[in-house]
Amino acid sequence: MHTYEIRCAGRVVSQVKSFTRRHAVTEYLRSLGCRDEELELVGADEIAWRGAVYTAVETSETEPTPSNE
């Protein structure tokens, strides 16, 4: 699992832990009350909602993967 900064218009609006950038953006927007039918996929990892485009950028923080020892 990775930590992503959610950005809108160049500003960091949140930080989310997720497995992919697209999932991080989608979950952030859902937490704001956005319904799936309101989401518009703009790029591979960009989603538009009400005219604003949201992206996710991976930070250097990652959670360690449990090892099977």
Q: Given pLDDT bands bounded at 50, 70 and 90, which one contains residue 61?
A: low
Tokens 């927007």 belong to residue: 29
> Which tokens go with 59?
């930070």
Average per-residue pLDDT in the chain?
89
Query: What per-residue confidence (pLDDT) applies to 40?
Result: 95
Mean pLDDT over 54-63 rounds to 82
Point out which residues pair with 2 in neighbouring strands: 18, 62
Predicted model pTM = 0.81
Look at residue 64 and tell me whether its pLDDT is greater than 80: no
- Identify the CA nearest to 16 among candidates 36, 45, 44: 45
Higher pLDDT, 44 or 6: 6
